[in-house]
Amino acid sequence: MNFWENKRVLVTGGAGFLGKFVVCELRRKGCRKIFIPRKKDFDLTASSPIKKLLLKTKPDIILHLAAVVGGIGANRENPGKFFYENIMMGVQLMEQARLFGVGKFVAIGTICSYPKFTKVPFKEKDLWSGYPEETNAPYGLAKKMLLVQAQAYRQQYGFNAIYLLPVNLYGPGDNFSPESSHVIPALIKKCCDAKASGQKSIVVWGTGKATREFLYAEDAARAIVLAAERYDKPEPVNIGAGFEISIKKLVGLIVQLTGFKGQVIWDGSKPDGQPRRCLDTARAKREFNFTAKTNFKNGLKKTIAWYAKQKSPTGASQ
C-alpha cells in the first residue's frame, strides 16, 4: 500500500513558501487528506486552539513547518517575537500531538541553530559545540529546543518525533519583502527593480566574505516527505545541497542572471551574519536516500523568472 494513501496529514505553514512545495509533494505521492491550518483560525502559540485543531483534523502525521522568520535585519529587529512565537508554537503543538496520540511529528529546525563558528561542513554532532551567531540566536535557539523536546518525548513517552535541519532555502514563491526577506530574494528584487528603474547602483549589506549554502525549496520538500516516510530515529538530520558560495560570488551571479548593469556598493557597516555555512548531508543520504537535484544556477533562473512575472503588467500580483 502507498504510505500516504490513507494518512491524515496536518501541515502547519502549509500555505507558506516551503509549505506549498511540501503539500504539492504530498499530493504527488498520493496523499489526499491534507489539512492546512490558517493563522487567523488557529493560534498555534496557545494550547486551546491547537486542541480544537487536532480534534477537527485527527492527524496521523504532523509536519510542523510554521515559523516566524526573516533575514538578518528582521532577526535584529524582532528577537523577542521570533523567540517567543517559534518556541511556543513548537512546544505547544508537540505536547498536544503527544496527548492526542499522533503517530509521527516532523519538526523543521533551522541552520541558524548551529554555533557561530562551526567547522565546515556542519555535522549534526556539532550542534551543541557553541552559541549561535548573535543576530540569529533567539530564533535558532527557539527552534533548537524542539530537538530537545523531540528527544525527551521519545525517551520518556515513546513519541515518534524527528528533527530536520534545512539550510537556507530559495525558489519561486519566496518572500521578497524588503523588511523580512532572506538574501537571495532580497538580491533578486534589488537587481530586477534597479534594472527596471534605471538605477546606477545597488547597496548590499556586509563585506561579501561570508559564505552560504542554498537549497531549492522543491528539493527541501522532497527531503521532508522522504524523512516522514522513512526516518524514525532521535538524531537530527541536515537537509542541504552540500555546496558553499560566498555572498560576493552570489551577488555576481544574480547580477549576471538578472541583467543588471550598474554598480554594487558594499555597506561594511552592516553585519555579515554567520561567517560560513555549509552542511554535511551524508546522514540524509544514508538514512532516507535524499540528495538535492536542482542545479543552483537553474534554480536561480527559475526564481528570477517567477519574480519578473509577478512584476509584469500581466503578472499574478498585479
Annotated catalytic residues are 139
143/132 Cα distance (integer angstroms)? 12
Strands 8-12 and 61-64: parallel
Rounded CA-CA distance 284/239 in Å is 7
- Burial class of residue 80 in the structure, from the number of CB atoms within 10 Å of its CB (0-12 exposed, 13-18 middle, 19+ buried): exposed
Residue whose cell numbers read 551577488? 251
Contacts of 197 (CB under 8 A, 6+ apart): none
Element (H, E) at 304: helix 296-311
In angstroms, rounded to a whole number, what is the distance separating the alpha carbons of residues 49 and 93? 10
